[in-house]
């Protein structure tokens, strides 16, 4: 150790501050690394938090109780179940009793043991979450558990039903259909306009003030807060044109305007990456400008255009703020079947559920988020895959 | 072939016209947004004083003697945005530095998609997370230190919003830092500077316009962010310096004014457009400055990839 120091001190080029300088550099590197790790750590914490909250929602409690079918219970369905268990079964299931008797008249005047969807409070109690069950009902639930008369089943209702004020009967189906209708409108409107704008700006427009103005405009549109598009949708599409409020048509148009700049910017980048000699060769063979673009440049840029469109689609799918403004957060129990009907979309459904007071909606919200994130991440993965697969090195 | 030329010319012109019309739509959109907001805002200012709107400290819509002084709303927006930027700028910038300067090719290819996932998460999801996980966490932490925090604290919103903006800042900064020519790094290293010194003294100053541009873009995103604050921030227009207190923002008030069942021409509803106008003007200004800076940077280093 001593020897080393003497060597250094004899060396005329030895910089005494070198050690601290290197230490500082190492610390700097560690700081940058740790901030990156922080972001990733947050991502993991965040995703696991959502999954832990949402996973229980994919299973639902069913309880086995005796159900009596007779004149009296068809009229007042509450009485179909023994008093002790009356509050434990789902109210929405009881409501289906008259329909069950109509569908199957043999049921009349019978008493059978059935597996019935449990009330959300029972569900939450058995999953160990916060619940408002009264002590006497807790007693009867415990009895059921003792007799093996409770079980968890896969929650099919969540995927096959629309929204409901009864938590155990609420599903995401109408929101998914609303999302699909809205996004179809969005893409039908945004894709052609965006691609045409990109082609014009990249292939035809001269670099003059007007073009620069359009360019600045598009870049600026991409950065405008999304809620302002909602104000536009409300003022123009609903108040001026009189289109129906809460409809996928208005939502789709509003999102289309928002998605336009995203698709334009990525399509332009794709067109720009097509080398000029392709165009020169086309002109050399006597093709017109339109022919060169249509038959040669655009097909080569198409994978890039698709990637940009998918990313734009994913963004439109997760957008909520402008849709709240135009009223797409309404309570929609039935799936819409046209673009003029009132509808809701997945993120708006998540927002609605997040505001519900019942604890059961927390897991529904998280489960809805899991469904939405799965779709979004697969869309993005598809975009990345397309980019990798069709990427051409010129 | 010659006789087809005139027909070709004809279709050519029509197609070209179509392309021009498509390109003009973006301009129409911007002006449509501007005018639809301005007209309604003017209607609002015909009913209520503009001066009180920008200097008044009481915001109480919906009651008989309603008052529209937006100062507490601006203060809340400001507070939440500052908290968000305090988190997003250092972390986003440092992540970008690590990814562009230190990380190997493999690690970079692994990390970049992760940050892209973070960027692709819908804001409503962040809002749920802020309201149900971070806000209660902050309340508990504060109880531990004998402080009183609101369940709608500005701090919780700010933290989650900051995390939301990290990828905005890091991805743009990453591109900018990578665009700084390698010759500058090599020159610095050849003079005996180590890697850390080179980054601080050479690379970052060169990339500064781009980094400022990324920050401004993040700032404009924070100001206009809606879902996180609608779900996790308060509704009450509260003028305070305490980040643990509940505060409201411009976007929260816009949403609140428009989801209710008010008549469209009442000042309660129209106040949303007045707030929207302020938001539009401020974000437009930030965006234009940001875009000009990045353009200058591009011209200086002759890069096309940004």
The verdict on A33 touching B (C-beta cutoff 8 Å) is yes
The verdict on B20 touching A (C-beta cutoff 8 Å) is yes
pLDDT at A1: 46
pLDDT at B1: 45
Q: Which domains does chain A have, with CATH numbers?
A: 56-155 (no CATH), 173-390 (1.10.3720.10)
Contacts of A295 in chain B (CB under 8 A): none
**Which pLDDT tens digit goes with each residue over B196-215?**
999 999 999 999 999 999 99
| Residue of A25, A36, A288 with shortest CB distance to B94 | A36
pLDDT at A322: 92
pLDDT at A125: 84
**Which pLDDT tens digit goes with each residue over B218-242?**
999 999 999 999 998 877 777 878 8
Contacts of A348 in chain B (CB under 8 A): 124
Contacts of A394 in chain B (CB under 8 A): none
pLDDT at B5: 58
pLDDT at A393: 67
| Residue of B199, B264, B283 with shortest CB distance to A225 | B283
User: Are residues B123 and A321, on separate chains, in Cβ contact within 8 Å?
Assistant: yes
Interface of B with A in 126-165 (CB under 8 A): 127-129, 131-133, 163
Phi, psi of A326 (to 5 degrees): -90, 15
**Which pLDDT tens digit goes with each residue over A270-281?**
998 899 999 999
The predicted model gives A175-204 an average pLDDT of 92
Contacts of B195 in chain A (CB under 8 A): 25, 29
Cβ-contact A284, A327 below 8 angstroms? no
- Place B50 in a pLDDT band, splitting at 50, 70 and 90: confident
Cα–Cα distance for residue pair A142/A149, rounded to 1 Å: 10
**Which pLDDT tens digit goes with each residue over A23-54?**
999 999 999 999 999 988 998 999 999 999 88
**Which pLDDT tens digit goes with each residue over A9-27?**
567 777 778 888 999 999 9
| pLDDT surpasses 80 at A57 | yes
pLDDT at A8: 57
Tokens representing B169? 């800042």
| pLDDT surpasses 50 at A379 | yes
pLDDT at B46: 87
Q: What is the mean pLDDT of chain A?
A: 86
Minimum mean pLDDT range among A101-110, A166-175, B177-186: A101-110
The verdict on B2 touching A (C-beta cutoff 8 Å) is no
| Residue of A223, A290, A354 with shortest CB distance to B220 | A223
| Residue of B98, B114, B287 with shortest CB distance to A43 | B114
pLDDT at A195: 93
Q: Is the pLDDT higher at A364 or at A206?
A: A364
User: Are residues B98 and A35, on separate chains, in Cβ contact within 8 Å?
Assistant: yes
What is the per-residue DSSP string for chain B? Answer: -GGGHHHHHHHHHHHHHHHHHHHHHHHHHHHHHHHHHHHHHHHHHHHS-HHHHHH---EETTSTT-EE--HHHHHHHHHHHHHHHHHHHHHHHHHHHIIIIIS-HHHHHHHHHHHHHHHHS-HHHHHHHIIIIIHHHHHHHHHHTT----TTBHHHHHHHHHHHHHHHHHHHHHHHHHHS-HHHHHHHHHTT--HHHHIIIIIHHHHHHHHHHHHHHHHHHHHH--HHHHHHS-SS----S-TTSB---HHHHHHHHHHS---TTSHHHHHHHHHHHHHHHHHHHHHHHHHHHHHHHHHHHT----
**Which pLDDT tens digit goes with each residue over B243-260?**
888 888 999 989 988 886
pLDDT at A186: 95
Q: Which of A42-56, A79-93, A130-144 has the highest mean pLDDT?
A: A42-56
Tokens representing A339? 């673009």
pLDDT at B262: 66
ipTM entry = 0.88
**Which pLDDT tens digit goes with each residue over A60-78?**
888 888 888 887 777 777 7
The predicted model gives B164-180 an average pLDDT of 91
| Residue of A236, A289, A372 with shortest CB distance to B122 | A372
């Amino acid at each position: 150790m001593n020897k080393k120091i003497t060597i250094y001190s004899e060396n005329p080029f030895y910089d005494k501050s070198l050690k601290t300088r290197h230490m500082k550099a190492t610390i700097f590197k560690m700081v940058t690394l740790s901030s990156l790790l922080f972001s990733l750590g947050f991502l993991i914490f965040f995703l696991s938090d959502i999954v832990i909250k949402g996973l229980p929602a994919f299973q639902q409690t069913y309880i086995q109780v005796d159900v009596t079918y007779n004149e009296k219970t068809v009229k007042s369905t509450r009485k179909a179940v023994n008093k002790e268990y009356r509050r434990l079964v789902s109210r929405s299931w009881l409501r289906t009793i008259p329909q069950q008797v109509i569908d199957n008249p043999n049921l009349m005047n019978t008493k059978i043991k059935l597996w019935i969807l449990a009330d959300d409070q029972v569900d939450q109690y058995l999953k160990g979450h916060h619940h408002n069950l009264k002590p006497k009902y807790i007693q009867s639930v415990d009895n059921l558990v003792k007799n093996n008369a409770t079980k968890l089943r896969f929650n099919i209702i969540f995927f096959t039903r629309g929204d409901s004020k009864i938590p155990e009967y609420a599903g995401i189906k109408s929101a998914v259909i609303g999302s699909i209708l809205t996004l179809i409108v969005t893409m039908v409107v945004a894709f052609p306009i965006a691609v045409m704008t990109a082609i014009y700006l990249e292939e035809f427009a001269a670099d003059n003030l007007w073009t620069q103005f359009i360019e600045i405009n598009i870049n600026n549109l991409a950065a405008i807060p999304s809620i302002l598009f909602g104000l536009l949708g409300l003022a123009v599409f609903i108040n001026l044109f009189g289109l129906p409020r809460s409809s996928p048509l208005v939502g789709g148009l509003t999102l289309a305007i928002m998605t336009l700049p995203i698709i334009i910017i990525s399509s332009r980048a794709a067109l720009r990456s097509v080398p000029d000699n392709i165009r020169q060769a086309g002109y050399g063979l006597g093709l017109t400008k339109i022919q060169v673009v249509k038959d040669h440049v655009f097909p080569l840029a198409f994978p890039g255009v698709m990637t940009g469109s998918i990313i734009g689609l994913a963004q439109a799918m997760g957008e909520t703020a402008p849709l709240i403004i135009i009223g797409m957060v309404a309570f929609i129990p039935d799936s819409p079947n046209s673009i003029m009907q009132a509808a809701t979309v997945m993120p708006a459904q998540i927002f609605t559920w997040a505001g519900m007071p019942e604890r059961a909606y927390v897991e529904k919200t998280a489960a809805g988020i899991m469904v939405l994130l799965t779709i979004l991440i697969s869309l993005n993965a598809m975009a990345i895959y397309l980019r990798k697969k069709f990427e051409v090195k010129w | 072939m010659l006789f087809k030329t005139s027909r070709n010319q004809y279709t050519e012109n029509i197609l070209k016209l179509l392309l021009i019309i498509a390109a003009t739509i973006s301009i129409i959109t911007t002006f449509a947004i501007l005018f639809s907001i301005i007209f309604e805002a003017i209607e609002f200012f015909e009913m209520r004083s503009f001066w009180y709107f920008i200097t008044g400290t009481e915001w109480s819509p919906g009651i008989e003697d309603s008052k529209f002084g937006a100062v507490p709303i601006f203060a809340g927006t400001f507070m939440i945005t500052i908290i968000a930027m305090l988190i997003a700028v250092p972390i986003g910038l440092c992540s970008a530095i690590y990814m562009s300067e230190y990380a190997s090719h493999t690690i970079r290819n692994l990390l970049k998609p992760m940050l892209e996932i973070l960027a692709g998460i819908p804001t409503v999801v962040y809002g749920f997370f802020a309201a149900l996980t971070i806000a209660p966490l902050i309340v508990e932490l504060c109880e531990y230190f004998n402080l009183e925090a609101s369940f709608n604290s500005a701090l919780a919103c700010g933290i989650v919003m900051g995390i939301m903006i990290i990828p905005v800042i890091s991805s743009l900064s990453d591109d900018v830092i990578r665009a700084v020519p390698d010759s500058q790094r090599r020159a610095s290293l050849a003079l005996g500077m180590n890697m850390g010194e080179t980054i601080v003294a050479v690379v970052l100053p060169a990339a500064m316009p781009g980094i400022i541009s990324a920050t401004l873009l993040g700032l404009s995103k924070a100001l206009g962010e809606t879902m996180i604050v609608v779900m996790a921030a308060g509704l009450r227009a509260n003028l305070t310096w305490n980040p643990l207190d509940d505060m409201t923002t411009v976007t929260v008030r816009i949403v609140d004014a428009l989801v209710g069942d008010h008549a469209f021409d009442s000042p309660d509803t129209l106040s949303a457009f007045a707030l929207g106008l302020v938001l539009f003007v401020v974000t437009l200004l930030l965006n234009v400055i940001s875009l000009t800076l990045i353009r200058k940077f591009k011209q200086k280093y002759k890069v096309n990839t940004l």
